[in-house]
Structure 1
Amino acid sequence: MSFLNLDHLQKSFGSTKVVHDFNLNVEKGEFVSFLGPSGCGKTTVLRMVAGFEEPSVGRILIDGQDVTRLRPNQRQIGMVFQAYALFPNLTVADNVGFGLKVAGVPRAERAGRVTEMLELIGLPEMGARFPWQLSGGQQQRVALARALAPRPRVLLLDEPLSALDAKIRVSLRNQIREIQQQLGITTIFVTHDQEEALSISDRIVVMHKGIADQTGTPRQIYNQPATDFVAGFVGTLNRFDAEVLDAPTGRLRVAGTEFALGRAVPSAVSLAARPEGLSLADDGIPAEVTGVEFLGSVQRLRMRVAGREIVLDRFNAPSAALPEPGEAVHISTQGSSWLVLPHGA
């Protein structure tokens, strides 16, 4: 049996159902991210696991124990919030040890555990400071240490990086992942940031309108989206109108150009491709360059194909000439790079 089991969870507020039959099995030590837009139900599921919301239907099991009706302090769960939620009148050390004190852990043991946690988060000399004397990134690390100090069975993180600037977010998310792997703690991470989810997760649950649209590894979610919503929400997607000429062989016509995918397709489809899956070519689908952006390591070309706006990304090559806006070019892609979507998606 998996370590954390979410079994047919549903949650309604009055007549509004916000979570519909949500199922997930998480292995011990696994890092799973809930990814989706605001209002999709990801935080509500997290709060049900934490015990702050009670499911309308369904069960929550941790290591075989049904915790569905237990209070939050009976579940052995650590929680890290978006807004840190540190006690401003307590020192860093007292904040980290707060849960241990409430649990009645002896003073000497508590002090040893606090020292261990401050070493773990890289703030061994900060114990005597107060939260207002720390940066945002340091405060969030203290919040993480406080959640980990009681040795929880499951760690829950509710968009813990969203209040931080971009550079600190990258550094702290990597540190969170390193600590999680070092401790081997089962973790659920809620975010609406695709890059965060793709970079640190073992698996991602993409949520949409209260359901899990797709669950898979980061590579599966990005390269093999199971639904049109996942394809469009995770990463940038170029869409093309396609005419099916021969469904069994996947022979198609796009913008007057015929080619074969080498695999069967439905009788009516549209095609899509990631920006990095397209390339400039001497022959292929005709396009007109509408803009060029230099993004450091990436050159982004904006184009128009048969009335549709598309984006092509390629690595920066200092010696390579960039096409000019208004220039006619051709684009191509390998057959394996095409995503076949239902017609009209």
Structure 2
Amino acid sequence: MSFLDLNHLEKSFGPTKVVQDFDMKVEKGEFISFLGPSGCGKTTVLRMVAGFETPTSGSVRIGGQDVTRLRPNQRQIGMVFQSYALFPNLTVADNVGFGLKVAGTPRAERAARVQEMLDLIGLPDLGSRYPWQLSGGQQQRVALARALAPRPRVLLLDEPLSALDAKIRVSLRNQIREIQRQLGITTIFVTHDQEEALSISDRVVVMHRGVADQIGAPHEVYNSPATPFVASFVGTLNRLTAEVLDPARGLVRIAGAEVDLQRPVAAGSIQLGTRPEGLQLSQSGIPATVTGVEFLGAVQRIRAEVEGQPIVIDRFNAPGAQIPQAGDLVRVAGAATSWLPLEDEKR
């Protein structure tokens, strides 16, 4: 039996339905990321789990208990916000121990738990400082410790890294994942950053217009997107127009070059998508004109155009490899499995 059950959740604000039939089962100890653009409904789902929003319909169950109508403080939830939300007039130790104090935990037990949490987040000697004396990354770690101190059943993180610079974000997201694994706590992480979601999650929920377009492991979401939106939102996607020559076989023509998809496609003109790493420079294939090259250390990113349609080709750097120049005429090709037929969005 799953530990966290979100059963057909829906939420409307007036006539606007912001979450539609959201259904998911989360196992104990799983790290789940909700990924999507602003306004897709991911934070609303998180707030329904936390108890800050009441579902229009559907239910939330934690450990077999229906908590749909319980107040947030009755759900044993730990919450970390984007803005840290630390009390500026309290020391770090008092911030971390705040929930324990409210719960009536004895002073000695509270002090021991606070020190345990400070050790866990790597700030064992900063308990006497105030939030304004800490960096942004340190403040967010204190917010994490405060959420974990009362031993919640579920940890919720609402874009906790978005206010931090890039280098600190990478370091802190790895630390969050390490702590989550160490404690074995069921966690939901909301983000609009695909790299964050793909790098630390057991499963990713890609949301679009209030609907979970796809739920799957990071490699499944990236390599086998369920919808055109998922394909375009997660990672970089090249889009090319193709003329279908043989629908049953999947033979198409792109810019005068034939491409065999080896699977049936709709007749007429279709859109095909492929990842930058799915294309290679070749002796034969689709003609393209190089518009620029970016050297990214381990990767060469080649930008080109195919009949005015921009594409990107990523290839590993190799010493001595010839780098194309802007204006060069090249040909590109990809394996049949690297091409994804794209349909128009139905919603």
Pairwise same-fold verdict (TM > 0.5): yes
Aligned to 1:99: 99
Using the TM superposition, give the Cα deviation of residue 248 of structure 1 relative to its aligned residue in structure 2, in angstroms: 2.5
Identity of aligned residues (%): 74
Could you say which residue in structure 2 is the equivalent of 1:272? 273
What does residue range 12-51 of structure 1 map to in structure 2 within 5 Å?
Answer: 12-51=12-51
Distance 1:69 1:262 in 2: 52
Gaps of 5+ in 2: none
1:145 deviation in Å? Answer: 0.4
Deviations 1:263-283 (A, max 9, x none): 233334321110111111111
SS in 2 for 1:282: strand
| Aligned-partner Cα distance in 2 for 1:202–1:119 | 26
1:344/1:184 CA distance change after superposition, 3 Å = closer
CA contact (8 A) 2:86 2:131 kept: yes
Q: Tell me by how many angstroms 1:105 deviates.
A: 0.6
Count of aligned positions: 345
Task: For residue 284 of structure 1, give the secondary structure of its aligned residue in structure 2.
Answer: strand
Alignment of 1:302 onto 2:313: no
Residues 16-47 of structure 1: CA distance to partner in whole angstroms, max 9, x if unpaired?
21111111111110000000000111111111
Instruction: Report the equivalent of 2:231.
Output: 231
- 1:146-185 CA distances to partner (integer Å, 9 max, x unpaired)? 0000000000000000000000000000000000011110
More divergent stretch after superposition (300-309 vs 140-149): 300-309
Residue number in structure 2 paired with 1:10: 10
In 2, are the aligned partners of 1:6 and 1:24 still within 8 Å (CA)? Answer: yes
Aligned to 1:116: 116
Q: Report the AA paired with residue 338 of structure 1.
A: W
CA distance in 1, matches of 2:164, 2:343: 39
Q: Aligned partners of 2:12 and 2:341: how far apart in 1?
A: 35
Written as runs of structure 1 = structure 2, the 5 A alignment for 1:154-165 is 154-165=154-165
Moved more, 195-204 or 257-266: 257-266
- Say if 2:225 and 2:231, in contact at 8 Å, map to a contact too: yes
Give how far 1:10 is off: 1.0
Letter in 1 for 2:339: W
What is residue 326 of structure 1 aligned with on the other side?
A: 327
Aligned to 2:207: 207
Structure 1: which 5+ runs fail to align? none
Q: Residue type of the partner of 1:272?
A: G
2:315 counterpart residue number: 314
In structure 2, C-alpha distance between the alignment counterparts of 1:263 and 1:10, rounded to whole Å? 37
1:184-263 matched pairs, under 5 angstroms: 184-263=184-263
Deviation at 1:241, TM superposition (A): 1.1
CA distance in 1, matches of 2:338, 2:20: 33
What is the deviation of 1:245?
Answer: 1.8
Shift in Å, 1:295: 2.2
Question: Is contact 1:270–1:344 with CA below 8 Å preserved after alignment?
Answer: no
Which deviations, in whole Å up to 9, do the C-alpha atoms of 1:276-322 show, x marking residues without a partner? 11111111111111111222222111111122111111122242221
Task: Give the TM-score, by structure 1 length.
Answer: 0.97
Cα distance in 1 for residues equivalent to 2:205 and 2:309: 30
For 2:284, the equivalent position in structure 1 comes to: 283
Secondary structure of 2:284's aligned partner? coil
Q: CA RMSD in A?
A: 1.3
Instruction: Report the TM-score when normalising by structure 2.
Output: 0.97
Aligned to 1:140, the other structure's residue is in SS state helix
Q: Which secondary structure state, in structure 2, belongs to the residue aligned with residue 272 of structure 1?
A: strand
Q: Is the 8 A contact 2:113 2:149 kept in 1?
A: yes
Deviation at 1:344, TM superposition (A): 8.7
Whether the aligned pair in 1 keeps the contact of 2:228 and 2:345 (CA below 8 Å) is no
Q: Check if 1:64 corresponds to 2:56.
A: no
Name the amino acid aligned to 1:218.
Answer: P
2:344 and 2:327 map into 1 onto residues whose CA distance is 30
